[in-house]
Amino acid sequence: MKQNYKLLISYDGTRYHGWEAKPDTDMTIEGKIETVLARMMDEPVNITGAGRTDAGVHAKGMTANVHLDTEKTETEIRDYLNRYLPEDICVREVKIASDRFHARYNAVGKTYCYTCYSGPLKPVFNRRYVHVLERQPDVEQMRKAADHLIGTHDFASFCGNPKMKKSTVRTLTSIEIAHSGSYLTFTYQGDGFLRYMVRILTGTLLEVGYGKRSPESMVPLLEAKKRSEAGYLMPPEGLCLLKVHY
């Protein structure tokens, strides 16, 4: 009898073309996991992720679900996956879920973190997971700007999909900007995120930190609903999906 399994997954997205399986490449996270599950089940398997991460983006806590008819225990499924998956993908947990659990539709929010580095030396061992800044921005100014972005707004100005037909209204419950040593982190929690939204938000906040925009300019920027009005699209390597909330 088929059962619904909930998977908690971590991955280094550096060499992958994002989460979503694509017909023209086998280098996606979803595609790699489906290939191993198909080998285990000896039949095609489709999994459902909580969302999509773009090429080069990482995750510590991506969630997915899959229906399987197997006698293997949860631990055996996890261990089988980790035995055959590439070293940069790890299934941290496999648990039986209710039949109605859906990784995407049941999610009520996500937490992302974008990490920057502004130290004097090259971050040799963290270079795949940070964006290197030329200088340290003004953290307090960025925090003031972030205050204007928290809440329910139309984030069309921060959407990287020009053909977006669905609503671009989202709710950001918190934006935390922390500076520790040479590292600067932007942690966003919200009910959902548009394509490139976190990377555009971070690029815009950094422009505030460098004095190119004022914190108060976030208000007319939201009202403009134009991508061209917002800031720089940050590279993918600094972005990590920390958690999907249910």
DSSP classification of residue 61: E
Per-position b or e across 77-106, b if 16+ CB within 10 A of its CB: bbebbeeebeebbbbeebeebeeebebeeb
> Quick one: which of 153, 207, 198 has its CA closest to 176?
198
Which residue of the set 26, 54, 79, 99 is catalytic?
A: 54
DSSP classification of residue 98: -
**Sign of CA pseudo-dihedral 237, 176, 135, 126:** negative
Radius of gyration of the chain (CA): 19
Verify whether residue 54 is a known catalytic residue: yes
**Please, which residues bridge with residue 42 across strands?**
none
**Please, which residues bridge with residue 22 across strands?**
25
> Quick one: which of 80, 63, 84 has its CA closest to 5?
63
> Quick one: which of 123, 86, 93, 102 has its CA closest to 46?
102
Burial of 233 (0-12, 13-18, 19+ CB in 10 A): middle
Conformation bin of residue 56: beta by default, left when phi > 0, alpha when psi is -120 to 50: left
Catalytic machinery residues: 54
